Structure formats: structure tokens, C-alpha cells
Chain A
Amino acid sequence: MFRYVLKTLWRHRTRTLLTVTGAAVAMFVFCFVGSVQQGLDRLTTGEDADRSLIVFQENRFCPASSRLPVDYANRIMEIEGVAEVVPIQVWTNNCRASLDIVVFNGADPNQIQTNRPITLVDGTWSDFEARRDAALVGRNVAQRRGIKIGDQFSIGEISVKVVGIFQSDVPSEENLIYTSLEFLQFTRGLDATGLVTKHEVLLAGDADPDRVASEIDEALRAGPVATTTRRKGAFQASTLSDLVDLIGFAHWLGYACVGLVLALVATTTVMSVQDRIKEYAVLQTIGVRPLRAMRLVLTESTLLCLLGGLIGTGLALLALGLGGFAIGAEGVTIAFRPSVGLLVSGAIVSLIVGIVSGIAPAIQAATVPIVRELNQP
């Protein structure tokens, strides 16, 4: 009987193609929106977000306006529960929301190697340490900008030699370019000698992040610049608060896409059943059970939806994998990465929508008034 369903879909191939295309486009958007949502979730949760703190200048958000003394690191290290402090100079080409934000993080090369959750996929650490203007480029940035090892990459006042490409389990890391701290501090226009944008604090063992954050701000209150210390996840969420609202709205767009697929496949299936209602009467006359007739219709709608959904999801994952897309603001970026979770959710949503969209026409096919339909010309 499965062959009957396939042949029916093939008989109306234009309609099938249009429906599958519509479902694919909608599921493409759904997965893209889902990847933004996942990127935001990863940015605000997980080990990196919960077990490290960001010390920023009080009441400042843009990296260009936060200036903290480098030697704050020594005072922070004295606080109980602090395992490591990484002074970081940040430079970004755009403080406002942008889809092509480039963020440089300047830090001590040894600290980058030992503390950052990154793995070189191309290049060597020794090359990074050997050149003053050496840069390690995150995989996302490299993909997006077409950067390769050995390239001289220039943006604004900064020009670096690319000596490594890295990947990371923390997707937002892959949107960064690491240089040495001194190189970025001496960049023309920054005039940041002895200053950094922020200190990233790695917590020891089971240290309470909130207690350590309070103690850092308290300890530095008497210093030349007051600080605000928060968990990295909270800091990033706060920095991206405008985008978070936008992403929350986009979430509804994702649901709207699911609704669109539902309406599209349901309409196609209803039309298909109504066109062939006499066929269902004939099938039941020769012994097809009403439930089996229902299953035939549900198989048809599910096949349409699954096919479109999987194509859309697959294309979205491919685009996400190849495009290296990211959105960011004020030096914090959200990476859009493909994931198994997206694939699974795309497939499950397609399956459920396929079944749900077929229910009404399936009932129609199962309860067809046999005699009345057989008497139709």
C-alpha cells in the first residue's frame, strides 16, 4: 500500500514539489532561528558561562569605553576562590549590533594557550608566540571572511599576520581573533598602555561565583576605576540585552514557520483527498479498513512534510556550517552553528507537523460515505 501512496504523490508531482519546497523553506527558517536561539543559550549557560567572571568598568558596556588597570589582576588573584585572572584587551570593528562583527581579544599568549577552550586546527602555538602581530583566528571568522594561514588581515587600524585557525567547544569563541595583549594595547587609536578592557576571572573548585564577584567589586572600589563583576553568562546576556529581545521575537517567527508548514501540508493533503474521495470509497469497498485508509493519508502528509522538513533542515545546517554566521554587539557574539540538536528537532517537528496536518483529511478519507461516493459519476 506504501507504493500506492508514493505513486499518488508522483501523479501530482507539481503539487508535491511545491508543497515540499514550501515546507523546506519554512523549515530552513525554523532551523536558522533555532540556531540563533541555541547560540544565545550556549552563550549564557554552560561551564564557560557559569564558572568564570567578567570584571568590567562600572556602568560601561562597550569595549571601547571600559578601561581597567592591568594590575587589577594581581589584586583579584588575592581573593579566595580565584584560580586565574586573564587581563584582556578587546577591539571590535563595530560596537553596535552587526552580522559581521570582528572582535580581537588581546591576552597573554601563555594564558590563551592554557586557559581558553580552543584547539588549533591549523598553525602552531610557537608561531603565535614568535611574532608580535601574530593572530589566531576563530573558525567562524575564517569561514566568513575567507581567511587562511599566512594571510595578512587588516581591519581599521589593526593589521595582523594569521598564524593559526582554531576551533572551540564554545561556539562564541570561534568568532574571536586572539592576539598578544601588548600588540593590541599599542594599536594606534587605542592608547591603552597599562590598561585592559576587562579581566576574565576563572574560579577555583567550588567557589561561589556571586560571593567572589562581590568581593572583587568591593576590593577594587577604592581603586582608580570602579568595577562591575558578573558571571560571564550574565555579562554576555546583559551586553546583548537588545539582541536577546530580538531573538525572543524571532523565536515566534520560528513557530510561525511551523504553522505555515502545517497549513501548507494540510491544504495539499485535503485537496488530494477530496480529489480522490471516490478512490477511498472504492478502497474500502474492496476491504481496506477505515483505519488503514487513515494511515494512507497520514503517510502521504507525513512523507510530504518529512521530505520538505529534512531538505530544509539539511540546507540550513549546510548553510550554517559553511557560512560561519554570527551576530554580535559590543564585542560579544552569538554564533549560529549547526548541531545534532537542530537536526533532531527539525526532523521531529517535521514528523509531528506531518502527522497533525494529515489528521483532518485522514478522518475524511476514513469516514467517506461509500455508497454516496460510488454513485458519483
Chain B
Amino acid sequence: MALVALNAVTKTFTKGEETITPLDHVDLDIQAGDFVSLMGPSGTGKSTLLNLVSGIDQPDAGTIAVDGVEVTSLSRSQLADWRAANLGYIFQTHNLIPVLTTYENVELPTLLLRLSASERRQRVELALEAVGLTDRASHYPRQLSGGQEQRVGIARAIVAHPKVVVADEPTGSLDKKTSDQIQILLQRLNRELDITLLMVTHDTEVAGIATRRLVLEDGKIVDGLANPV
């Protein structure tokens, strides 16, 4: 059974008198351990698909199941609980909480789970170690570089040991060198920690690090490996 399964998912937006359908009866299966990149021109609905899988947006039709749980049928509170335990979200603009230190930002998702203090500490330390920021634990976001901030964001996304991690343009706001470091990090997370990743990007080079490349065109998903952009 696929870890993530989208079945005939449709999403439409109304802009003035115009109706846009970025996702039109989309079917998609992602297996556990996959590293999937999703590409496509701006405004094609890549981020919308990510938001639907994350449960922060709702489709107009179709179903989405993650690890057998149909997320489209959950309430807002249930979705929050589900995300806390099963989903990690890497934002393009990091979105760290400015008043919290690196350690506290990473610790945040673990506070939503039933973990002992020592278990929480252990997970946070491991996550920080995985992204190479152990020595920046007490720093505030304003004291970090863009790349370090993104690594904190990645640590925050993986600290709860989610079943799937989604990343929305994770290198979109970074320079080339930092972008390369983040790509390597994402690859390592997938290979070494066996984390299932669904990444949206418009950068073909970044998409190249994924094990499976998909393209979103005219509301439909095309297998990118067979049809490279």
C-alpha cells in the first residue's frame, strides 16, 4: 500500500470571474522511503498539492490518504494532531519562531506529542546533529544565516519522526552554495534516515536529487523520469 495516496483530487480557485483548476482529478501514489520532487511552471498548483497532502487545505473533490488515514475527512483539530505526529513541513522562508532559540524551535513539535522530557531532549539533540547545528542550539533565528535557518526548519520538520516530510521550495530563498548544502542534507535524510520526502521545486537541478521526479502540467501529474522537463 502506498504511504501517500491521492485519488481523483480536484482543486479549483475563483479569481474574479475566472475559475482556475490547478489540480484536476489528480492520482498519485508515493511509497515509503520515496524522495519525490514535484516540478512545474509557477501557478500550476505544486504548492496547492503540498498543502492538500499536509491537510492545511481541503480539496474540492477526491480523497487523500496518508498511511491509511484519510486526511480529507478529518476536522481541523484532528488534522493538527495528525500533522503533529505524522507530517513534517519545510517552508521556503523557514518560518522559525523569532522569540525561540534554535533548540526551542526544534523542540516545538515534540511538545505536542506525549514524550518524556528526556525523550524530547534526545530527539532534539539528534535532529540538531542530523542538520549539523548542535553548536547553534542557543542561538536565535536572527543570529543565524539563511542556510542555518533552513537547517533549523528541516530539524523541526524531522524531530517528531514523521511518516512523511513535505518541503515547499526548500532552497528557493538560498544562494547557490547554501542551496547545494541543503540538497545534500535532504538526500542524506532520505537515504540514511529513510525519511519519505515530497518536495516542490521549480529548479531542475534541485529536482534532480530526488529518486522520483514528477511534473505538474495542466492540472495533471506527469512522471518526470519518463518525461524530463
A residues with a Cβ closer than 8 A to B are: 1, 3-4, 7-8, 10-11, 278-279, 282-292, 370-371, 374, 377
Contact = CB atoms under 8 A, between A and B. Distances in A.
B54 A4 contact: no
Nearest to B76: A290
Give 4 nearest A-B pairs by CB, closest first: A287-B84, A7-B99, A289-B80, A287-B83
B100 interface: yes
A374 B111 contact: no
Contact of B77 (A3, A283, A289): A289
Contacts of B81: 287, 289
B76 A371 contact: no
A7 B100 contact: yes
B95 A374 contact: yes
A64 to B, nearest CB: 67
B95 A1 contact: no
29 contacts: A3-B100, A4-B99, A4-B108, A7-B99, A8-B99, A11-B98, A279-B97, A282-B95, A282-B97, A283-B97, A285-B83, A286-B89, A286-B108, A287-B80, A287-B81, A287-B84, A287-B87, A287-B109, A287-B112, A288-B84, A289-B81, A290-B77, A290-B80, A291-B77, A292-B80, A370-B56, A371-B56, A371-B57, A374-B91
Contacts of A282: 91, 95, 97
B104 interface: yes
Contacts of A7: 99-100
B99 A285 contact: no
Interface string B99-133: 11000100011011000000000000000000000
B80 A4 contact: no
Contacts of B83: 285-287
A4 B112 CA distance: 13
B156 interface: yes
B85 interface: yes
Contact of A288 (B80, B82, B89): B80
Contacts of B51: 371
Contacts of A283: 97, 108
Nearest to A286: B109
A309 to B, nearest CB: 24
Nearest to B87: A287
A6 B198 CA distance: 35
B82 to A, nearest CB: 8
A374 B90 CA distance: 12
Contacts of A371: 51, 56-57
